[in-house]
Structure 1
Amino acid sequence: MNCCESMESKNRKRINDEIERQLRLDQRNANRELKLLLLGKWSITQGRLPGTAESGKSTFFKQMRIIYGNGFSEKKKREYIKLVFQNIFMAMQSMIKAMDKLEISYGQKEQGELADLVMSIHYEKVEVFEDPYVSAIKTLWGDAGIQKCYDRRREYQLTDSAK
């Protein structure tokens, strides 16, 4: 059947076969790829994924590591504990600042002193969570003014993990 084909026809068939082979190869490679939406670009200098705040990038990577890795080393666990403490301070400081902007008063006047104590610490420098800060944050969290401020959290930036 191929004996009567012209040279041009043979050339077209060869090109077509080559294209088909490349398409099959590309499809096989595509099936092996894992595609992820990272919501930002990796920054080597910052060692993190910048992007949309609160989009779940860090949570996603932590979950993948727990599920598919060997969990966390003791060093990583300590780092995450420190991060939790820092997040607690950051959230409470955000609410304290928002109370002023939203013109919300504390349920009890004495809470202002506790708020000053919590605000006196730079949250990124928090290493441990100890008294008197534990007591201050617990007491402030129970305050009616802070709860009202928390209920209005859509009016200012407060992390989802704040509660």
Structure 2
Amino acid sequence: MSCRLSEDKKESRRINKEIEKIIKADRKKMNYVINLLLLGTAGSGKTTFLNQMRIINKDEFSNEEKVSYTKNVYRNIFMAMQSMIKAMEELEISYSDVENIGRAELVSLIDCDTIETLKDPFLSVIKCLWNDVGIQECYSRRNEYYLIDSAE
């Protein structure tokens, strides 16, 4: 009997050593991985925290992600304005410009989930409402009602 390995067994050992080397490298990498569970209520900043970590670590956002985040910003603008319009009624705050009553009614009718862009006429309507003294007073009293943190 011969003590020499067949070519098949040599190849098997070589492949096995490569696999072991890859496993060892992966274990080393896993020592640097940290799992983090972020808990918090809606609007508490979990996604913002993760996005800031990506920015700090120089991870670029894809164009698709940028478009998605832009849509979310526009939706948040409308949701915040709708919250303030509703709060103005509850807090009995009047608009400084009577025309803003109609603008507020228009914004209140919008389904925030359908917002994808912020262009005229909605852009000018939001600007007019935001510049209203009554809305600014309502915003200054935001501790009396729920308003998303990104409202300003």
What is the count of residue pairs matched by the alignment?
A: 122
* More contact order relative to length (CA 8 Å, sep ≥ 6): 2
| Partner of residue 72, structure 1 | 61
| Partner of residue 34, structure 1 | 34
Correspondence 1:88 to 2:38 = no
Q: C-alpha deviations, 1:63-106, integer Å up to 9, x for none?
A: 12223353100010011111111111111010001001111111
TM-score using structure 2 length:
0.74
| Partner of residue 42, structure 1 | none
Q: C-alpha deviations, 1:105-124, integer Å up to 9, x for none?
A: 11121110010111121112
Match of 1:151 among 134, 137, 140: 140
Which amino acid counterpart does residue 34 of structure 2 have in structure 1?
Answer: L
- How far, CA to CA, are the matches of 1:108 and 1:58 in structure 2? 37
- How far, CA to CA, are the matches of 2:53 and 2:79 in structure 1? 26
Structure 2 portions without partners, runs of 5+: 1-30
Aligned-residue CA RMSD (Å):
1.7
- How far, CA to CA, are the matches of 1:33 and 1:62 in structure 2? 18
| Partner of residue 131, structure 2 | 142
TM-score using structure 1 length:
0.69
Structure 1 portions without partners, runs of 5+: 1-30, 40-50
Equivalent residues in 2 for 1:5-20, closer than 5 Å: none
Equivalent residues in 2 for 1:108-123, closer than 5 Å: 108-123=97-112
Q: CA deviation at 1:60?
A: 1.1
Q: C-alpha deviations, 1:107-157, integer Å up to 9, x for none?
A: 121110010111121112101111111001100111111011001100000
- How far, CA to CA, are the matches of 1:33 and 1:65 in structure 2? 15
| Partner of residue 120, structure 2 | 131
Regions of 4+ moved over 6 Å: none
Which amino acid counterpart does residue 121 of structure 2 have in structure 1?
Answer: P
- How far, CA to CA, are the matches of 1:115 and 1:145 in structure 2? 12
SS at match of 1:104: coil
- How far, CA to CA, are the matches of 2:141 and 2:150 in structure 1? 15
